[in-house]
Structure formats: C-alpha cells, structure tokens
C-alpha cells in the first residue's frame, strides 16, 4: 500500500508455512528492493501478515529496526544472498 501524500509504503507478506525459516530473508529482500527503487523520502514498513508465522513478532521487530537492517546489509555474505534473491533469472 502506497500513500504518496504521507510518503509511506506498507508491504504485508505471507510466508508459505507458519514455520518458514526464510521469512526474515524474504522480508529483508522486499525491504532492500524498495530501498533501491523508491525515493529516500518514503518510510517503509515491511511486515508479516498477522497470524501467519510462528515468529511473527520477532521477524517484524527485526525488519522494523533500521540499525539491524543496516547491519545485515553490511554483512557481505548476507548482502550477496539478498542480491541473489532480487536478481532477474533467465
């Protein structure tokens, strides 16, 4: 959901299973794609659909923490994995 007037973007995603081990990586990949695609003025909120993941609160807390997201993106291995998630496949 995009609110141009308030410069906010909210993305709610649903993992395939309640114990999906990739939920944080999926959320981080979505957030990185938005960071790279949107003007800096936008505030991003990426979170799991309520009630769809066993660790919903913990994952949402990680995705909402700017410092933890920045630290994750400073990790070269993790950044490579995120980039692979976002790369176009032929």
Bridge partners of residue 48, in order along the sequence: 13
What does DSSP say about strands 2-3 and 43-48: parallel, antiparallel, or unpaired? unpaired
- What does each C-alpha distance from 47 to 14, 17, 59 come to in angstroms? 9, 15, 8
Q: Does pTM surpass 0.85? A: yes
Average pLDDT over residues 47-74: 95
CATH code, 2-86:
3.30.300
Nearest-angstrom CA–CA distance, 23 and 34:
17
Q: What is the pLDDT of residues 12-34, one digit of tens each?
A: 999 999 999 999 999 999 999 99
Predicted local distance difference test score (pLDDT) of residue 88:
74
Residue 63 burial by CB count (10 A; 0-12/13-18/19+): exposed, middle or buried? buried
Q: What is the mean pLDDT of residues 43-48?
A: 97
- Rounded CA gap, 89 and 71, in Å? 27
Q: Which of 67, 73, 58 shows the shortest CA–CA distance to 28?
A: 73
């Amino acid at each position: 959901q995009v609110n141009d007037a308030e410069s906010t973007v909210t993305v709610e995603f649903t993992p395939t299973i309640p114990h999906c081990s990739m939920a944080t990586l999926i959320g981080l990949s979505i957030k990185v794609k938005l960071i790279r695609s949107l003007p800096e003025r936008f505030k991003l909120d990426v979170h799991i659909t309520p009630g769809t993941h066993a660790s919903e609160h913990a994952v949402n807390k990680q995705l909402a923490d700017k410092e933890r997201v920045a630290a994750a993106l400073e990790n070269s291995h993790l950044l490579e994995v995120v980039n692979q998630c976002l790369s176009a496949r032929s």
